[in-house]
Amino acid sequence: MANSIEYEKTIVLNGNPFHFKQEHISVEEYIDFLKRTNLGRQYPKEDFINRINTLVKNVQISLVVRNANQEIVGICFGLTDFAYWLFLTDLGVDRNYERLGIGKILVETAHELLGGERRIVLSAYVNDKAIPFYEKMGMRKSDDVMEKANIEWTSFEVGKDD
């Protein structure tokens, strides 16, 4: 890849250190994380393991937050053209660490790493509860996005139905 992103920083939130880093993680780590978040509802059941494997291997932006025990407590995955767009594909925080500002820091960090001028696009339709979070960050709903679904997907929640 012509452009690579490097980032590593420890931030103290609520008296606890959290390590933010651009790093690729394993399928097992990501699935374990999905079980502890609301993000685990956005994926279809069909070919789940193979698709998650492809995702973690190929995502351009992979900001990961770990607690003092090195457990993943937050993730922001994204794609970019390094010129205009930043598409956030996955943003999640472990349910035990919500409301500490981790999600906000992840979005802001991803945006800053790319120069701060990119238009951020994401899809929050799977988790309507997340919409107020994005609106507080200054995002607005858009109706200029097109989608083509080539297959029907079966909804499930990682860790519940598998």
Q: Which domain holds residue 19?
A: 8-136
Is residue 68 a part of any domain in this protein?
yes
pTM to 2 decimal places: 0.83
| Domains in the chain, number | 1
Measuring CA to CA, which residue among 98, 104, 91 is closest to residue 137? 104
**153, part of any domain:** no
Task: Per-residue pLDDT tens, the chain, 162 aa: give them.
Answer: 445 678 999 999 999 999 999 999 999 999 999 999 988 888 888 889 999 999 999 999 999 999 999 999 999 998 888 888 888 889 999 999 999 999 999 999 988 887 777 677 766 555 667 778 878 877 777 777 666 667 676 777 888 755
Does 37 map to a domain?
Answer: yes
CATH number of 19's domain:
3.40.630.30
Collect all residues with Cβ–Cβ distance below 8 Å to 75 and sequence separation of at least 6: 25, 30, 33, 39, 62, 63, 64, 65, 90, 91, 92, 106
Residue 77 resides in a domain: yes
Is 123 among the domain residues? yes
